[in-house]
Amino acid sequence: MSLQPLVLKAPAKINLTLRVTGRRADGYHTLDTLMQKLALFDRLELRPAGQGIRLACPGSGLPEDDNNLVYRAADLFFSRMGHRLAGAPQGVELVLHKAIPVAAGLGGGSSDAAATLLGMNELFRAGCTGPELAEMGLALGADVPFFVSGLAAARATGIGEVLAPAPALEGYLVLLVNPGFSVSTRWVYETLALTSTEKEFNLDSSQNNEQETSGAVPAGDQGVDSSMMVNDLERVTAGRHPEIGEIKRVLLHGGAEAAMMSGSGPTVFALFPKQREALARQCRQRLDADYASVFLVEPLSPGR
């Protein structure tokens, strides 16, 4: 077991497409979504520390107990893999430094949980395989297996846990705008269920066009095909929060090739071709005046 602190980066993600395809008998919605990791990171520090779990989240206001996914991930790791630690003390100290907005549709909590599992496996030399970590991750959240994986982009189906590699987004900068309020993912899905009928869900995968089923990034000959960028959850969140539509209008008028809400929101992202970087920076400066969390980042590529 290493006595040195371990520092890991937990990336954000966006959903380039998000289709709700149905509902299971247990109430979970099934999805068909294309996810892309971004160079916007939380930072997680891990140190072995005798017995028990100690978590600090300085400056974030997040809970530091089992109401936090990082704490729960560490607890789950010890519960599932303690027998592999050969009598070593089962204790860890974790410090989470947040940069990704909370409850924002960017996967920050899931990414932090995944970093915890990866870090615990390395710190305690447990020898977990990728599938073992993904299985533990799924117990914490449907997006966690994606962040556990080494994939920069993936098509996810099922409840989000069935992953297939997808080409990473290239040639674009991503401008993220978070309006400054949080959105409950549970509320979004419950509201979707109340306002939709099963006929509205695309239950027949054969109805998807070739590009959707291939898992390819939605792009045409001249760049991103915005008609392929659909988020079925956007109408629910934007229906309550009209700021989402206003942010999209500003981004598109500012030169973005496409703009859409990510996940259950409320963060809106825009794709700017790299040759429009000056426009992206101008747009960021304009939105900085109205919103506290605005980021201009690059999509991650394999190996980053």
Structural domain 172-297, CATH architecture: 2-Layer Sandwich (3.30)
Burial of 158 (0-12, 13-18, 19+ CB in 10 A): middle
37 carries an active-site annotation: no
Would the pTM of this model clear 0.85, i.e. be above it?
A: yes
Neighbours of 297 (CB within 10 A): 17
For residues 249 and 259, what is the distance between their CA atoms, to the nearest angstrom? 8
The pLDDT of residue 286: 95
pLDDT exceeds 80 at position 24: yes
- Which of 32, 42, 143, 232 does the annotation list as catalytic? 143
Once rounded to an integer, what is the mean pLDDT over residues 111-119? 98
Helix (H, G, I), strand (E, B) or coil at 162: strand
> For residue 144, what are its two tokens?
């966690």
- Which of 13, 37, 98, 248 does the annotation list as catalytic? 13
The model's pLDDT over 134-164, given as tens digits with 9 standing for 90+, comes to 999 999 999 999 999 999 999 999 988 899 9
- At position 195, the amino acid (one-letter code) is T
143 carries an active-site annotation: yes
Query: In this structure, which topology does domain 6-165 adopt according to CATH?
Result: Ribosomal Protein S5; domain 2 (3.30.230)
Once rounded to an integer, what is the mean pLDDT over residues 55-75? 96
* Confidence band for 200, pLDDT divided at 50, 70 and 90: low
Domain ranges of the chain: 6-165, 172-297
Task: Find, among 301, 299, 11, 32, the residue nearest to 161 by Cα.
Answer: 32
pLDDT exceeds 90 at position 272: yes
The pLDDT of residue 222: 45
Give 3-state DSSP helix, strand, coil % of the chain, rounded to 5.
Answer: 35, 30, 35
Measured between alpha carbons, how far is residue 141 from residues 159, 247, 263 in Å? 10, 29, 14
For residues 118 and 134, what is the distance between their CA atoms, to the nearest angstrom? 10
